[in-house]
Amino acid sequence: FQVPTPFASHAFHPLDGFLQSLPYHVYPFLFPLHKVTYLGLFLFVNVWTVSIHDGDFRVPETLKPIVNGSAHHMDHHLFYNYNYGQFFTLWDRIGGSFKYPSSFDGCGPIDLILSKEKENGRLKPEHIKNGKKRD
């Protein structure tokens, strides 16, 4: 497991990227949009994609139950079978794939990784500084 970075938001095969963006480009042909609205939505999706990979877990308290923020998405990368939603948690909750980030042994995914590595003897106390893994 590698902690995702903002660069991970666009790290995929070009064909995969094309297929992922296809609905965004086909939709305006079916339901006309103003070009500024189209570009604004495309920009929003790109900014959102970068933001859920940046490790900044701040989401307003009132939105935490419904928004699939960075912490939720980190668990998606860590466990691969949770938190598939791009923006919201509704369909993950309905489909049974929702996991609240704090439900994994404490404070979040990084703490879980550090505790598992320590249990397996792969992480020595000298590798940790201020609760974070050092390289």
What are the pLDDT digits (tens) for 75-86?
A: 888 878 888 888
**Stretch 54-66: mean pLDDT:** 81
Task: Kindly list the domain boundaries of the chain, sorted by start residue.
Answer: 1-54, 59-135
pLDDT of amino acid 124: 56
pLDDT for residue 52: 86
The pLDDT of residue 35 is: 92
103-105-109-113 Cα dihedral, nearest 10 degrees: -160
55: exposed, middle or buried (Cβ count in 10 Å: 0-12, 13-18, 19+): middle
Confidence of residue 1 (pLDDT cuts 50, 70, 90): low
Q: Is the per-residue pLDDT at 130 higher than 70?
A: no
Residue 3 has pLDDT above 80, yes or no: no
Which pLDDT does position 78 carry in this prediction? 80
CA distance 39 to 4: 26
**Each residue's pLDDT tens digit, 86-114:** 899 999 999 999 988 765 544 555 666 66
Which is nearest to 65 in space by CA: 90, 95, 82? 90
